[in-house]
Amino acid sequence: MANTAQAKKRARQAEKHRQHNVSLRSMLRTYIKRVIKAIHTGDKAKAESEYQTAVPVIDRMAHKGLIHANKAARHKSRLTHHIRNMPV
């Protein structure tokens, strides 16, 4: 446990940041799941629209450092691949 005032403050800040990051990570996963769900239903137009809303969120989380830039690129690439291979 923190003994100094500075350490106590840093512990409070760390917990606050952790909770904020959990919220952001949950939002990111939700947007990705929406695209995946649209892909599984077979609605290409819906999947493309969900993808367009998910991409800025994925990029923002990578820019904030919540996920690595390569992971963001991997998500976008795989989702794009699945959408392109959907029947018209």
Whole-model pTM? 0.89
Q: Which residues of the chain fall below pLDDT 70?
A: none
In a domain, 47, yes or no: yes
Cα 23 to its chain centre, rounded Å, is 10
Domain that holds residue 80: 42-88
In a domain, 29, yes or no: no
Confidence at residue 19, expressed as pLDDT on a 0 to 100 scale: 98
- The tokens describing 70, both together, are 């390569």
What's the total number of domains in the chain?
A: 1
Confidence at residue 88, expressed as pLDDT on a 0 to 100 scale: 77
Burial class of residue 26, CB neighbours in 10 A (0-12, 13-18, 19+): exposed
pLDDT tens column, 24-38: 999 999 999 999 999
Specify whether the CB–CB gap between 51 and 32 falls below 8 A.
no
